[in-house]
Structure 1
Amino acid sequence: MTARRSRHRSAAYAALALGLAGSLALTGCNSHSSKTSKKSSSSSSTSKKRRIIGGGAAAAGAGTAASRRVPDCFPSTYKVTFSQQSGPDSHVTVKFKNTTSRDCTLYNAPLLRFNNAKSPLPLLQGTPGHFDGTRLTVPAHGYAYAVIPTNSAATKGTERKSVAIDFMGVSASSVTHGPATVDFAEKRLHLSVGKTKVTNWTSSIHGAQLAAGVGK
């Protein structure tokens, strides 16, 4: 009986040992699985954060590009002035001042209707009301110039009372910005303009004079 009991006890101890070993093995597996799940979750969260940050940077870049677009210039009586030079190279100078703190864009040439004319003065370098690709960026508080040659009897013509000014737009049509009207009597100006043409806008008075054929 003693030997038989001893054998039973040994078998029971062996079964208990196997059970404990299996339990420990399962605990190790569960712990490893939990750690793997946590790492996967952390990696997914980091990826989402990177995507969100990247999307925000792209949106910020688009906003910056939009804010850098140069707006069109607009005419007004205090921004556009006229003066006439006499002599062999007689001409009228049209001067635009950008009075704003931002750059602005001018296209082709000013459209000028003297004495309420139905059609604007012809252009030396294009067709009135049609954009031909010439554009000029006028810096903040900067200037642009156009010249009307009046160095012959036909181009000088008669004295004008007023002028309506339109600015051409970016589209290849008669889209303009304006008009603004300058009354020469109110400004105490005496301008004589006949059958002549006006140059495109340029960044210097000398460049405009050369384009008009009155510069040296």
Structure 2
Amino acid sequence: MTARRSRHRSAAYAALALGLAGSLALTGCNSHSSKKSKKSSSSSSKSKKRKIIGGGAAAAGAGAVSRRVPDCYPSTYKVTFSQQTGPKSHVAVKFKNSTSRDCKLYNAPLLRFNNAKKPLPLLQGTPGHLDGTRITVPAHGYAYAVIPTNTAATKGIEQKSVAIDFMGISASSATHGPVTVDFAEKRLHISVGKSKVTNWSSSIHGAQLAGGVGK
């Protein structure tokens, strides 16, 4: 009897040991699989964050490009001239931005009357890269410059035509033009002598003040 009981106990212990070993093995597999799942989930989340961040940067870059303001370009219908008489006589130069987008004007218009070799001097000096002026002309908006003609020398003689260039960011940079306005064709009487032209201004009043002919 004793030997039989001993054998039964040994068999029971062996079965119990095998059961425990199998349970531990399953637990280890499940734990390892859970860790893998967590790592995979974390990696996927990081990847999504990178995509979102990258997409945001690309969108910001595209927005910056779309907000870049182009230069304004002259044409015979965008640039007009008118002569003002009286003690504060002057020629007003008006530019119209006829597009549906803002554009930039630098410094002053370059004006060559009657095919002159050199443009009219600038009243506010020769602009450089840092001290030049720049204005943004809104869509369908205007910009103005003034040529004072309130003395006999500055009024000079009646001109037949004017070639117009638009300056770049500095005096040495490329200009946009020229275009030529024929005053006789437009039935305009514009008299300009030894005068100078102001920088562009967002208002006619500002241009007149810069030219010393403001009210």
TM-score clears 0.5: yes
**TM-score scaled by structure 2?**
0.95
Q: Which residue of 1 aligns with 2:192?
A: 193
User: Are 2:168 and 1:150 equivalent residues in the alignment?
Assistant: no
Q: Which amino acid aligns with 2:162?
A: V
Q: Which residue of 1 aligns with 2:212?
A: 213
Q: Determine the C-alpha separation between the residues in 2 that align with 1:53 and 1:174.
A: 41
Q: Is the 8 A contact 2:82 2:92 kept in 1?
A: yes
Aligned pair count reads: 214
Q: Which residue of 2 aligns with 1:94?
A: 93
Q: Is the 8 A contact 2:126 2:171 kept in 1?
A: no
Change (3 A) 1:172 1:182: closer
CA displacement at 1:170 relative to structure 2: 1.6
Equivalent residues in 2 for 1:96-135, closer than 5 Å: 96-127=95-126, 130=128, 132-135=131-134
Q: Which residue of 2 aligns with 1:84?
A: 83
> Which runs of 5 or more structure 2 residues have no equivalent in the other structure?
none
CA displacement at 1:174 relative to structure 2: 4.1
Change (3 A) 1:172 1:17: farther
**Matched-pair identity in %:** 69
Change (3 A) 1:204 1:11: same
> Which runs of 5 or more structure 1 residues have no equivalent in the other structure?
none
Q: Which residue of 1 aligns with 2:182?
A: 183
Q: Is the 8 A contact 2:132 2:170 kept in 1?
A: no
**TM-score scaled by structure 1?**
0.95
Change (3 A) 1:210 1:62: same
Q: Determine the C-alpha separation between the residues in 2 that align with 1:118 and 1:170.
A: 22
Does the residue aligned with 1:179 lie in a helix, a strand or coil? Answer: strand
Q: Which amino acid aligns with 1:3?
A: T
Q: Determine the C-alpha separation between the residues in 2 that align with 1:207 and 1:95.
A: 13
Does the residue aligned with 1:78 lie in a helix, a strand or coil? Answer: coil
CA displacement at 1:150 relative to structure 2: 0.8
Equivalent residues in 2 for 1:27-66, closer than 5 Å: 27-66=26-65
> 4+ residue stretches of structure 1 with deviation over 4 A?
none
CA displacement at 1:90 relative to structure 2: 1.2
Q: Determine the C-alpha separation between the residues in 1 that align with 2:81 and 2:190.
A: 8
Render the CA deviation track for 1:19-68: whole Å, top value 9, x for unaligned. Answer: 11111111111111111110111111111111011100011001101111
Q: Which amino acid aligns with 2:134?
A: R
Q: Which amino acid aligns with 1:117?
A: A
